[in-house]
C-alpha cells in the first residue's frame, strides 16, 4: 500500500529575511529515510585490525549492530546488552570488564585494538569508567583498549558524538620519533584523492598518509611519526588538539571550502609549513570556471537544491554556484557552522530569495516530494524533493580544493543527464563504506 500525507509543509525560511545564524523552531524531530551519512560504527571501522564493542541497551544496540551487519563486518563487532538490573545493582563496571573479557576470549583472532563504546546510561549512573579502562588495560595488555562513546544525550554538552568519534579514532597513536618529512591527513571519512594538494606535498619532498591507507594496525601506528596533521573537517579539530596535547603533532587546518581565496590561503599556510613557495593556481581557477560554465550550459536554469549531507559547507557551495549563474533555490540543513557566516552574508546579498529548509522538523514528514524538476546536491534534498536527478555523495567525499570543485561540476553534469534510483540509493546506510544491500 502506498499512501502519502499530501498537505504541503511550510516551514522554510527566506534567506534574505533571516539574520545569521538561521534557526528553526525546536521540538520533536523527524528522521528522513535518506541514510547515507556515516555513523560512529562506519568511522570506527576505519581503524584496521580493531574490534568494536558496544555496551548499551537493546534499543541503542539495534542500530549499531545492523550497521555492522549491513557493512558485512559482523566479525569485527560485538555487544554487551544492558538490562534493568545492571542500572540498579551497581554492577555495571563488573559487567563491562567481564563482558569484554568474555568477548575477547571467544574471538577467533585477538584484535590489536578494541574500540569500547559506552553510552548515555554510563554517564548518568556515574559508572566508574576510568576504573573500567584501567582494569581492562591491565587484563589485556596486548590489546589497545580505546574509549569511545555513543551518548547522543550529550550531543549539546561539549563535544558532539561526531567530534568525539573522530578524536578517539586517533587515540591509539603513540609517541614516536617524528619524521620531519612526514604528514598525515586526519578526520576524513573518505580517502583524499590525488590533486593539487598531494602534488604540493610531494613537490616539497614530504610524504603523506591517512588511516584509509592502512590494512594493518602497525601501519596505523606509523601515523604517530608525523609531526603535523592536515585537517579539513571542522569536526576533526578536537582530534587535532588532542594529537597536539598527547603527541606534539601540530595541526595544519585547511578548511573544506568552495571559495578560491580560502583555498589559496590554505595552500599558502601549507606551503609555509613545507618551506616552499605556493604555486600559481590561476590555471586551476580557470579550469574551475570552465567546468562551472560547462555545467551551467547543460543545467541552465534548472532549480538546484543543496543539503548538508553532501558537503560540510552547503552555504559556501550555494554561493559558489549562485554567483556563477546557477539557479540555486533551496538549502537543506538544521544548523550551520560558524565558518559559513561570511558565505551566508554574501549569498544573502545576491540571492535573498533562496529558501532555507530544515530536515528534522516534524512538518518535513508532510512534504509532498513532488518537486521532480530539481537537480539535488545530496541525498536529503533528493528525498525531500522527490527528484531522481541528484549528486549522490556524502560527507564531502574527498572533494577538496580546486580539484574538488572541478569534480563536483562533472558530478552535477552526470546527475543532470543520468537519473538515479533515489529510493534505493538514499536508504543505504553509510554510503561509500561498503555494504551488502
C-beta of 59: minimal distance to other proteins in Å? 3
The only residue of 2, 141, 261, 349 in contact with other proteins, by rule CB under 8 A: 2
Choose among 186, 231, 180, 182: nearest CA to 207: 182
Stretch that binds other proteins, among 296-304, 318-326, 389-397, 421-429 (CB under 8 A): 421-429
Q: Is residue 60 a contact residue for other proteins (CB under 8 A)? A: yes
The only residue of 21, 33, 202, 205 in contact with other proteins, by rule CB under 8 A: 33
Q: Is residue 103 a contact residue for other proteins (CB under 8 A)? A: yes
Question: Helices 92-106 and 129-139 sit at what angle, rounded to 10 degrees?
Answer: 30
Which H or E element spans position 52? strand 50-56
**Residue number, 84 or 349, with CB nearest to other proteins:** 84
Strand order across the beta sheet in which 207-209 lies: 207-209, 182-186, 228-231, 250-253
Q: Is residue 164 a contact residue for other proteins (CB under 8 A)? A: no
Q: Is residue 219 a contact residue for other proteins (CB under 8 A)? A: no
The only residue of 121, 127, 331, 405 in contact with other proteins, by rule CB under 8 A: 121
Stretch that binds other proteins, among 78-86, 245-253, 261-269, 314-322 (CB under 8 A): 78-86
Q: Is residue 61 a contact residue for other proteins (CB under 8 A)? A: yes
User: Phi, psi at residue 189, to the nearest 5°?
Assistant: -80, -35
Q: Hey, what's the cell of 73? A: 563486518
Site pattern 374..413 for other proteins (x: CB under 8 A): ----------------------------------------
Q: Which residues make beta-bridge pairs with 377? A: 306, 391
Query: String of b and e for 183-192 (b: at least 16 CB within 10 Å)?
Result: bbbbbbbbeb
C-beta of 322: minimal distance to other proteins in Å? 31
Contact predicate 47/400, CB 8 Å: no
Which H or E element spans position 86? helix 84-89
Q: Is residue 131 a contact residue for other proteins (CB under 8 A)? A: no
The only residue of 153, 290, 293, 410 in contact with other proteins, by rule CB under 8 A: 153
C-beta of 31: minimal distance to other proteins in Å? 4
Binding to other proteins (CB under 8 A): which residues in 252-281? Answer: none
C-beta of 224: minimal distance to other proteins in Å? 29
Beta strands in 181-269, from DSSP E residues, in sequence order: 182-186, 207-209, 228-231, 250-253
Binding to other proteins (CB under 8 A): which residues in 286-315? Answer: none
Q: Is residue 29 a contact residue for other proteins (CB under 8 A)? A: yes
Contacts of 411 (CB under 8 A, 6+ apart): 391, 393
The only residue of 65, 184, 381, 406 in contact with other proteins, by rule CB under 8 A: 65
Choose among 183, 198, 210, 189: nearest CA to 402: 198
The only residue of 20, 139, 242, 346 in contact with other proteins, by rule CB under 8 A: 139
Q: Is residue 127 a contact residue for other proteins (CB under 8 A)? A: no
Number of residues that bind other proteins (CB under 8 A): 68
Choose among 18, 57, 62: nearest CA to 352: 18
Give the count of beta carbons closer than 10 Å to the beta carbon of residue 74. 12
C-beta of 162: minimal distance to other proteins in Å? 12
Give the Cα separation of 73 and 200 in Å (integer).
36
The only residue of 13, 129, 154, 265 in contact with other proteins, by rule CB under 8 A: 154
Q: Provide the H-helix boundaries in 204-252.
A: 217-221, 237-247
Q: Hey, what's the cell of 207? A: 610524504
Give the Cα separation of 403 and 324 in Å (integer).
17
**Residue number, 99 or 314, with CB nearest to other proteins:** 99
**Residue number, 19 or 26, with CB nearest to other proteins:** 26
Give the Cα separation of 331 and 22 in Å (integer).
12
Q: Is residue 434 a contact residue for other proteins (CB under 8 A)? A: no
Q: Provide the H-helix boundaries in 341-400.
A: 341-350, 379-385
Q: Is residue 46 a contact residue for other proteins (CB under 8 A)? A: no
| Site residues for other proteins per CB under 8 A | 1-5, 26-31, 33, 35, 57-63, 65-66, 69-70, 74-75, 77-84, 86-87, 95, 98-99, 101-103, 105-107, 120-121, 123-125, 139, 150, 152-157, 360, 362-363, 365-366, 423, 427, 429, 436-437
Amino acid at each position: 500500500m502506498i499512501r502519502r500525507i499530501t498537505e504541503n509543509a511550510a516551514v522554510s525560511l527566506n534567506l534574505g529575511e533571516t539574520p545569521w545564524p538561521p534557526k528553526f523552531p525546536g521540538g520533536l524531530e523527524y528522521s528522513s529515510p535518506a541514510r547515507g551519512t556515516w555513523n560512529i560504527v562506519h568511522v570506527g571501522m576505519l581503524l584496521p585490525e580493531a574490534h568494536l564493542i558496544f555496551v548499551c541497551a537493546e534499543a541503542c544496540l539495534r542500530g549499531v549492530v545492523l550497521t555492522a551487519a549491513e557493512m558485512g563486518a559482523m566479525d569485527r563487532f560485538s555487544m554487551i546488552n544492558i538490562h534493568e538490573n545492571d542500572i540498579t545493582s551497581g554492577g555495571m563496571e563488573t559487567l563491562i570488564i567481564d563482558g569484554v573479557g568474555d568477548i575477547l576470549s571467544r574471538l577467533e583472532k585477538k584484535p590489536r585494538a578494541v574500540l569500547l563504546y559506552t553510552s548515555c546510561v554510563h554517564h548518568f549512573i556515574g559508572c566508574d569508567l576510568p576504573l573500567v579502562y584501567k582494569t581492562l588495560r591491565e587484563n589485556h595488555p596486548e590489546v589497545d583498549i580505546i574509549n569511545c562513546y555513543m551518548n547522543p544525550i550529550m550531543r549539546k554538552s561539549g563535544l558532539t558524538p561526531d567530534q568525539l568519534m573522530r578524536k578517539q579514532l586517533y587515540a591509539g597513536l603513540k609517541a614516536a620519533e617524528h619524521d620531519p618529512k612526514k604528514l598525515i591527513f586526519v578526520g576524513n571519512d573518505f580517502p583524499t584523492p590525488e590533486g593539487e594538494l598531494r602534488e604540493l606535498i610531494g613537490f616539497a619532498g614530504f610524504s603523506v598518509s591517512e588511516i584509509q591507507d592502512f590494512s594493518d594496525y602497525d601501519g596505523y601506528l606509523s601515523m604517530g611519526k608525523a609531526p603535523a596533521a592536515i585537517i579539513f573537517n571542522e569536526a576533526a579539530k578536537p582530534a587535532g588538539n588532542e594529537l597536539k596535547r598527547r603527541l606534539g603533532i601540530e595541526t595544519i587546518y585547511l578548511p573544506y571550502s568552495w571559495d578560491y581565496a580560502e583555498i589559496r590561503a590554505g595552500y599558502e599556510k601549507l606551503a609555509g609549513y613545507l618551506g616552499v613557495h605556493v604555486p600559481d593556481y590561476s590555471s586551476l581557477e580557470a579550469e574551475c570556471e570552465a567546468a562551472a560554465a560547462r555545467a551551467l550550459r547543460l543545467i541552465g536554469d534548472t532549480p538546484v537544491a543543496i543539503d548538508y549531507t553532501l558537503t560540510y559547507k552547503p552555504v559556501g557551495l550555494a554561493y559558489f554556484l549562485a554567483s556563477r549563474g546557477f539557479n540555486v533555490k533551496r538549502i537543506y540543513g538544521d544548523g550551520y557552522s560558524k565558518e559559513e557566516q561570511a558565505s551566508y552574508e554574501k549569498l544573502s546579498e545576491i540571492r535573498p530569495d533562496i529558501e532555507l529548509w530544515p530536515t528534522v522538523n516534524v512538518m518535513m514528514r508532510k512534504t509532498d516530494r513532488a518537486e521532480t524538476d530539481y537537480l539535488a546536491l545530496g541525498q536529503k534534498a533528493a528525498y525531500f524533493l522527490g527528484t531522481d536527478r541528484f549528486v549522490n555523495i556524502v560527507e564531502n567525499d574527498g572533494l577538496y580544493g580546486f580539484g574538488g570543485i572541478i569534480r563536483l561540476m562533472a558530478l552535477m553534469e552526470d546527475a543532470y543527464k543520468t537519473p538515479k534510483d533515489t529510493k534505493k540509493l538514499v536508504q543505504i546506510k553509510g554510503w561509500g563504506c561498503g555494504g551488502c544491500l
